[in-house]
Structure 1
Amino acid sequence: MYYKQFFVFNEDRTVPVVIRNYKEKDFESLIRVQQESFPPPFPSELWWNTEQLTNHVTFFPEGALCVEVNGEVAGSMTGLIVDFDPDHADHTWEEITDNGYIRNHNPNGNTLYVVDISVRPSYRKLGLGKWLMFSMYDVVVHLGLERLLGGGRMPGYHLKADEMTAEQYIEAVIKGELKDPVITFLLRCGRTPVKVVANYLEDEQSRNYGTLMEWRNPFRSSKHE
């Protein structure tokens, strides 16, 4: 199981942090993280429920991570293993994650798929999201998988949707001409875009688009190369 203890910085002050696998005792805190991280207009039915969290710690506990600051759960990241074929990349979040219930977790798959990552707003200046992402890269390497993959929301797209396509928006974000709260963060974490997918997730701000973004395991090559 995963356990990492280290310090982050709040300006010049050190803050002790632990990243570990979350457990049943953390469920109430994890649901609170979701409520704070994804306020309306994000659909409240997409917040975690107890059954989903129980499945996470049952089917793939290695992919259920949380970050603690001074003993308080400040964020979480969840994944499952799927068998991903880049030649048939289109899918919805609901399809590939079993609507967050991960009953389709495939231990023999090639890809760790990100179901969700969230950090409570009051803790975001500490860079915890990036540390959660790096910790999930550790899991990819440890399990010998080909990649980490997930669909990134594009919450800034609704501001530009009348001017450009979703693909043009992502290209502008990659070039640094625009900043997107999620896609820019994923780029800073080392993720690279694979494809823009329509109707990926019910998300008004993203106009229901998602951008598949991957991180390749540097210790192994993809069988699709």
Structure 2
Amino acid sequence: MEEEMLNSKFQIQRLSDIPEADIPKTLEEVVKVEKEAWPEEIQAPLEKFQARAEVFPQGFLLISLPDLGLVGVSTAEIINYDPLHPPISWEETTDNGWIRSTHNPEGNALYLISVGASPRSAGRGVGTRLVQEQLDLARRLNLDYLVLGSRIPKYHEYHLRHPEMTIDQYLLLTRSGGEVLDPEIRFYTRCGLKVIRVVPDYMEDDPESENYGAVMVWENRT
């Protein structure tokens, strides 16, 4: 009940619904959330958010809370996803985050470029709501899939303590309740996505994940 009350206070917007004159100021707020949500080495600059806003504003999702302002941002593009040949790198799939050459309006999948929630909103369900809203967009657009490349941010820390542990073995580790040990993979699993493949060098400059990424997919069965 508490989570439902918190969710009811969300202000949910897509950049496509924001007046053009307000977009520059909105993007400045987006960059602030990006800096709060991610390590410096993987933060996207303002220019990349501007490009995503120009190419696919409908996939540019914003969540605000009355007491905190903007706290959650997710950006997306449409791609043609082949289950037999999943994406091999975030950079290649997103044109390194610019999406000008990779967004395909005729594609069959919504690819999440980013999902970021400010730690100021911890415990408020912002990250989950971001993914839920993007899943709803995939349904409304009659897309077959939602795809993303998840970080595996606790692997490096665990690997230091257990040098013999491979990435595949690590992802098989579970908590006492049976859920996946890694918090980011666990988060997306709770949202209905499944790990399809683990890819080395999926993301550049992500030492926490040792540059591994997990391709995760939700299939639209409606």
Q: Percent identity?
A: 35
Name the aligned partner's letter for residue 172 of structure 2.
E
1:12-27 equivalences under 5 Å are 16-22=9-15, 23-27=23-27
> 3-state DSSP class of the match of 2:76?
strand
Whether the 8 Å CA contact 1:19–1:132 is kept in 2: the answer is no
Matched, 1:180 2:177: no
Q: Distance in 1 between matches of 2:168 and 2:202?
A: 14
1:1-225 equivalences under 5 Å are 9=2, 16-22=9-15, 23-39=23-39, 42-43=40-41, 46-70=42-66, 72-103=69-100, 104-161=102-159, 162-173=163-174, 176=178, 179-202=181-204, 203-219=206-222
Map of 2:19 onto structure 1:
none
With normalisation by structure 1, the TM-score equals 0.85
Q: Distance in 1 between matches of 2:87 and 2:5?
A: 44
Q: Distance in 2 between matches of 1:124 and 1:65?
A: 18
> 3-state DSSP class of the match of 2:122?
helix
Whether the 8 Å CA contact 1:173–1:183 is kept in 2: the answer is no
Flag structure 1 segments of 5+ consecutive residues without an equivalent.
1-7, 220-225
Larger relative helix fraction: 2
Query: 1:132 Cα shift?
Result: 0.8
Name the aligned partner's letter for residue 182 of structure 1.
E
Whether the 8 Å CA contact 2:7–2:125 is kept in 1: the answer is no
Map of 1:5 onto structure 2:
none
Whether the 8 Å CA contact 1:111–1:149 is kept in 2: the answer is yes
- Residue correspondences, number: 208
Flag structure 2 segments of 5+ consecutive residues without an equivalent.
16-22
Q: Distance in 2 between matches of 1:86 and 1:197?
A: 14
Query: 1:211 Cα shift?
Result: 0.5
Query: 1:163 Cα shift?
Result: 3.2
> 3-state DSSP class of the match of 2:107?
coil
Query: 1:177 Cα shift?
Result: 6.5
Name the aligned partner's letter for residue 165 of structure 2.
M
Larger relative strand fraction: 1
